[in-house]
Structure 1
Amino acid sequence: MAKQMSIIPFTGKLGPLIGYKRNGNYFLRSMPESVQQTAATRRASRRFGIASRKGAFIRHAFYGHLDIHCDGAHINRLNRLLIAAGDHHEAITGFRFNQHTGVDRFFPVAPRLLSNGVLNIPAQTIDGYKGITALEVKVIATRIDFISHQVAGSETVTLMIAPDTTFQETNVSLEVPGEGSLVVVFQVRAMYKDGPSNSRQYMAADIIAVAAPRVPKYAHKRTYPKRTILLPGLTYPHKYTSVIQLE
């Protein structure tokens, strides 16, 4: 690969060259003359394409609600998770939009999503940090239909918590109607007197729960054959009937 030194770098195809960006720098590579794909490489390419589109869908479903800076590698990290997960979307639980800091730094006892759609934040001791006056907690719940690629709705709940204190157990009700999986992101920002910290060490946003769509339960009503009264002097078909003889 070659590093681009021009005043205006580019990404994408330009003749036989491909420009791309990595870690803030721009590079060039030449296009291969021909590509021989096997059945395995075609399957891998198809899985990568599906995961990439799904990853972009998930990211854009949350970008408008997030208040933190995502790290430069979060796109590829999420795609790798989705490739391995396939249709088991619960596997993205634990994904960090900022890989440098996780929610566990601020909340050592992890929040958990209950079956009734309530997020339980257990009681625990919150550490203090120099110059930090509060922790802003933002719960983002989004209903995502991975089949139709639709966002049914979102709800956000914000809490302000004092550091260096004992946090009392709190339940947050997440009412997001619609079809699809409920994906919950737990965001934490450290706050100074004059505003939020911009340090990547003091901001976190993790996917803490993915609840699969609820499968509707149907009551199966047992049916019985019709009962027929047999009258004297008449004949009746006996198929699928139970017969009562009149006395």
Structure 2
Amino acid sequence: MSKQNSIIPLSGKLRDMVGYYRRNKKGKKEWWWRRAPQNVQQTAPTKRAATDFGTASRCSRLVRHALRPWLRYYGYHFDHNRLNKAFINIIKADTDHNTGFKVLTHHNMQSLRGFNFNSDKTIHEFLTSPPLITSGQDNTTTILLPGIHLSNTKTNKGITHVTVKAIALPFDHRQDAITPVASETITIKRKDIHQAITLTLPASKEQTIILLEIQCGYEINNTIEISANKQTAAMDVIAVLPAVKPKKIRRIFRNKTPQLYIIPPCCQPVKNHQLSQTTSLYPLKE
């Protein structure tokens, strides 16, 4: 592996070399060379392991594409490899299926709780206590936040407002796309930072990933501008709700007549044995 020093960097395969880039700690691209393998031999176990890895990568891509409007605020601070590794661990935790046929079960999906999309900041650094999630009878999911703690440090200098939002992600790995649902954005002033907040999301019939996003901003000309500092924003997975099973509909019949379980006997014609023995319908001729 060697670094490219040319003016025009190259990406892709060139003879027996492959050009690619990766970002450094400052977020800038660095172009590198590596030698391509001459031949790749895959055995049957390797192919099955590659199938499970493909399933995890596909699930990670579904989540990233669904959260693209919110991840653009974090830019290069979000590492895709961390999300891929999280789904790979979920796939590996499935012990009920053989390699190559593993799936994402709801029990193993609970390991996503606490996953932070901003590796430098978590929502627990803003909240005074963990959020409380309840399911209402009107097919809604309520998230109660007792309060937010915003420390008065240099990184938060100039912050005047805090915005809070909840995102529901109905997750189904069999689909090609996921449509997220966001709650209303609540904006509170810094002096009222310890007030309780209630967020409402519509309930979904599928397995749902609940995320909470907290961002800090400052007021300019009566408008709230979100801060670009990565130390003032966080978005974490707070819960993975199971799929709602459909209720059994009990059929109500209007006819209240009780069902008849007694089968009436079959009426058979009675034979006149005396008539057949003594008399005849047609008299004999003499």
Does TM-score exceed 0.5, indicating one fold? yes
Question: Does the 8 A contact of 2:66 with 2:177 survive in 1?
Answer: no
Task: Provide, for residues 50-86 of structure 1, a one-character-per-residue CA deviation record: whole Å limited to 9, x for no partner.
Answer: 1112111111101124462144552100000001112
Q: Are 1:208 and 2:238 counterparts?
A: yes
CA RMSD between the two structures? 2.7
> Of the candidates 101, 122, 125, which is equivalent to residue 145 of structure 2?
122
Question: Does the 8 A contact of 2:132 with 2:144 survive in 1?
Answer: yes
Q: Are 1:151 and 2:189 counterparts?
A: no
Between structures 1 and 2, the one with greater strand share = 1
Q: Are 1:98 and 2:118 counterparts?
A: yes
Further displaced range: 108-117 or 127-136? 108-117
Further displaced range: 54-63 or 87-96? 87-96
Q: Are 1:51 and 2:56 counterparts?
A: yes
- Percent identity, aligned pairs only? 30
Question: Does the 8 A contact of 2:113 with 2:239 survive in 1?
Answer: yes
> Of the candidates 163, 171, 175, which is equivalent to residue 136 of structure 1?
163
Question: Does the 8 A contact of 2:165 with 2:199 survive in 1?
Answer: no
- Distance change >3 Å, CA 19–CA 180, structure 1 → 2: farther
Q: Are 1:188 and 2:214 counterparts?
A: yes
Q: Are 1:68 and 2:73 counterparts?
A: yes
Q: Give the C-alpha shift of residue 169 in structure 1.
A: 3.0
TM-score (norm 1): 0.80
* Bigger-Rg structure (1/2): 2
Supply the AA of the counterpart residue of 1:110: P
Matched with 2:12 is 12
- Distance change >3 Å, CA 166–CA 100, structure 1 → 2: closer
Q: Give the C-alpha shift of residue 210 in structure 1.
A: 2.1
Task: Provide, for residues 85-130 of structure 1, a one-character-per-residue CA deviation record: whole Å limited to 9, x for no partner.
Answer: 1203333222222111111111131224323342323323523433
- Distance change >3 Å, CA 209–CA 71, structure 1 → 2: farther
Alignment: residue pair count: 230
Further displaced range: 64-73 or 15-24? 64-73
Matched with 1:218 is 248
Aligned partner of residue 60 in structure 1, secondary structure: helix
CA distance in 2, matches of 1:198, 1:13: 37
- Distance change >3 Å, CA 112–CA 34, structure 1 → 2: farther
Further displaced range: 208-217 or 116-125? 116-125
Please, which runs of 5 or more residues in structure 1 have no aligned partner? 235-247
Supply the AA of the counterpart residue of 2:211: V
Aligned partner of residue 55 in structure 1, secondary structure: helix
CA distance in 2, matches of 1:82, 1:47: 10
Matched with 2:276 is none
Please, which runs of 5 or more residues in structure 2 have no aligned partner? 24-28, 92-103, 252-258, 269-286
> Of the candidates 88, 111, 114, which is equivalent to residue 83 of structure 1?
88
TM-score (norm 2): 0.70
- Distance change >3 Å, CA 191–CA 139, structure 1 → 2: same
- Distance change >3 Å, CA 158–CA 125, structure 1 → 2: closer
